[in-house]
Amino acid sequence: MNNPLYDNLFGVHSRNDDTFLYLINGQTITYRNFLANSRRIANTLVDLGLKPGDCVAIQVEKSPEMLNIYAACAQAGLVFLPLNPTYTVDEIEYFIENSGSRLIICNKKNKEGLTVIAKNLSVLIETLNSDSTGSIIDKANSSSEDFKTATRSKDDLAALLYTSGTTGKSKGAMLTQANLLSNGNALMTAWQFTKSDILLHALPLFHTHGLFVATNVILSAGGSMIFLPKFDLDDIVKNLPKSSAMMGVPTFYMRLLADDRFNKKLVHHIRLFVSGSAPLLSETHIQFEKITGHRILERYGMTETNMNTSNPYNGERRAGTVGRPLPCVELKITDPETGRELSNNEIGQIEVRGPNVFKGYWRMPKKTKAELRENGFFITGDLGKIDKDGYIHILGRDKDLIISGGFNIYPKELEEIIDDQEGVLESAVIGVSHSDFGETPIAIIVQEAEMDPNIEVIDRNLRKSLARYKHPRKMIIVDKLPRNAMGKVQKNILRSFYKDLFLN
């Protein structure tokens, strides 16, 4: 293969007249037509002066053309950098400058604000709007459909994805052609996707979940996607009967369960529901199975590795776990201080190794060396354990670990108990500064609709289950927890808000 990523994911479909995308407006796009559009864009990118290895940053709303640009970058040997469309101009400046992007593609409404940055950094700027218009489309419409695929190797950089940056500046994870290909194929096999599958796609494309998991799995299998611009409950309900699978974040499933239209008949043709990007509440698991007969399949991945583990397609899908390692992925739990591998049910840091693991952090050799061991194992920054049956439990990020009076407290232990209490929808346990203990845990609790959690009862149940030093010093009722675009609770925001609670 001259270009493994393009040849395997895209090129194999160049003469395929099957439907690739079903759009919200009723239109369809075949594989053949999709790739013809991608080749025109690839010619446009080359005509702009871009060469293999150059980086293309794209900050636009979800659209088929955004996927076209992903395919065009793969074929032209360019590095694809998707950015959250909600980022401000100031935030974008960092990503453009740090990545060394040669081109930024943005929505027309953002062009004015980005033009100064583009000029100062000598970066080209083009537009792409959600209605399929824009300067990049105008130029592509007059470009040739013939394009000679750039020669690339499996170890060449294919994408640059920046981490969420909850502490310090965001880090650019370098993903190679082999990283993306191996994960797409592994998930296709593990979740038994075929060309007959129709995936309901309501995820954003700037994140690895919607782009390199959902899209790459369908490309690997040659299946189709019902391509929704965003998660809209009416659109989801309308299209579920036409789908065979759905991938989502916990918020998707919680909103579906709250809708009276969601029932077993509606999902009669669905064979698989997948959830990720944030933990799924046990209550959601139970309620979902009760209503639909389906057990949601949870898996575990991250920006730097794509997917690492999955509950089984055939076999027991255990709520509260993320299953076992995918084929070709090695996972171990190690002592954060010594790096020694721990035994089953011992809590430590999660390390993974495999063809899915990224190349390193862009322009951060020290950070790469600190987190990517010489033997290929990546220190994920997540805390977890492996139970006696080999199922992996995620207990939080290492930065979420609370050290109170010299004792380690894992927030997940408390959250699991609190979440099971009457009147509690969900909770987040964080550590805040304390003059005597250094840190102490507090619990932020979201109550169920029209129910009041009994704090005294919750405290009593915690005392029965956990050692005294683990008990939250305070429990606070709030309307909701802060979350990022993928539904993950932002504990850094909670820590910042409550940091002086016991210091006044």
Q: Given a cut of 90, is residue 469 above it in pLDDT?
A: no
Selection from 319, 279, 278 nearest residue 295 by Cα: 319
Quick: pLDDT tens for 410-434: 888 889 899 999 999 999 999 988 8
Q: Which pLDDT score is estimated for 289?
A: 95
330-334 sheet: strands from edge to edge: 330-334, 348-353, 378-386, 392-397
Q: Supply the pTM of this predicted model.
A: 0.86
Q: Give the range among 64-78, 102-116, 435-449 with minimum mean pLDDT.
A: 435-449
Can you tell me the mean pLDDT for 150-178?
A: 88
Q: Given a cut of 80, is residue 485 above it in pLDDT?
A: no
Selection from 401, 404, 446, 456 nearest residue 425 by Cα: 446
Q: Which residues on adjacent β-strands are paired with residue 477?
A: 445
Q: Which amino acid is at 12?
A: V
Selection from 214, 140, 144 nearest residue 180 by Cα: 214
Q: Given a cut of 60, is residue 436 above it in pLDDT?
A: yes
Rounded CA separation 361/163 (Å): 10
pLDDT band at 304 (very low <50, low <70, confident <90, very high): very high
Task: Report DSSP letters for 317-382, one per residue.
Answer: --TT---EEPTT-EEEEE-TTT-PBPPTT--EEEEEESTTS--EETT-HHHHHHHB-TTS-EEEEE
Q: Within 48-159, where are the H helices?
A: 64-76, 89-99, 108-120, 135-141
Quick: pLDDT tens for 283-303: 888 999 999 999 999 999 999
Query: What is the number of alpha carbons within 13 Å of residue 443 lying toward its C-beta?
Result: 29
Q: Given a cut of 60, is residue 166 above it in pLDDT?
A: no
Rounded CA separation 456/446 (Å): 16
pLDDT band at 203 (very low <50, low <70, confident <90, very high): very high
Q: Given a cut of 90, is residue 380 above it in pLDDT?
A: yes
User: What is the b/e burial string over 303-338, where b = at least 16 CB atoms within 10 angstroms of the residue's CB?
Assistant: bbbbbbbbbebeeebbbebbbbbbeebebebbeeee
Q: Which amino acid is at 412?
A: K
Look at the block and give the residue holding tokens 């209605």: 131
Q: Which residues on adjacent β-strands are paired with residue 74?
A: none
Can you tell me the mean pLDDT for 444-452?
A: 89
Quick: pLDDT tens for 45-99: 999 999 999 999 999 999 999 999 999 999 999 999 999 898 888 888 999 999 9
Tell me if 204 sits within 8 A of 59, measured CB to CB.
no
Q: Given a cut of 70, is residue 164 above it in pLDDT?
A: no
pLDDT band at 205 (very low <50, low <70, confident <90, very high): very high
Q: Given a cut of 70, is residue 167 above it in pLDDT?
A: no
Q: Extract the tokens encoding 257.
A: 């369960």
Mean pLDDT of the chain: 92
Tell me if 489 sits within 8 A of 482, measured CB to CB.
yes
User: What is the b/e burial string over 279-299, where b = at least 16 CB atoms within 10 angstroms of the residue's CB?
Assistant: bbbebbbeebeeebebbbbbb
More confident residue, 433 or 230: 230
Domains of the chain: 25-152 (3.40.50.980), 401-498 (3.30.300.30)
Q: Given a cut of 70, is residue 165 above it in pLDDT?
A: no
Rounded CA separation 246/320 (Å): 20
Q: Which pLDDT score is estimated for 369?
A: 94
Beta-carbon neighbour count of residue 138 at 10 Å? Answer: 12
Quick: pLDDT tens for 21-55: 999 999 999 999 999 999 999 999 999 999 999 99
More confident residue, 503 or 249: 249
Can you tell me the mean pLDDT for 220-234?
A: 96
Selection from 142, 78, 156, 114 nearest residue 69 by Cα: 78
Quick: pLDDT tens for 355-368: 999 999 999 999 99
Q: Which pLDDT score is estimated for 146?
A: 96
Give the H or E element holding residue 155: none
Rounded CA separation 328/333 (Å): 17
Question: 3-state class of 313 per DSSP?
Answer: coil
Q: Given a cut of 80, is residue 350 above it in pLDDT?
A: yes
Quick: pLDDT tens for 255-269: 999 999 999 999 999
Q: Which amino acid is at 110?
A: N
Quick: pLDDT tens for 310-341: 999 999 999 889 999 999 999 999 998 899 99
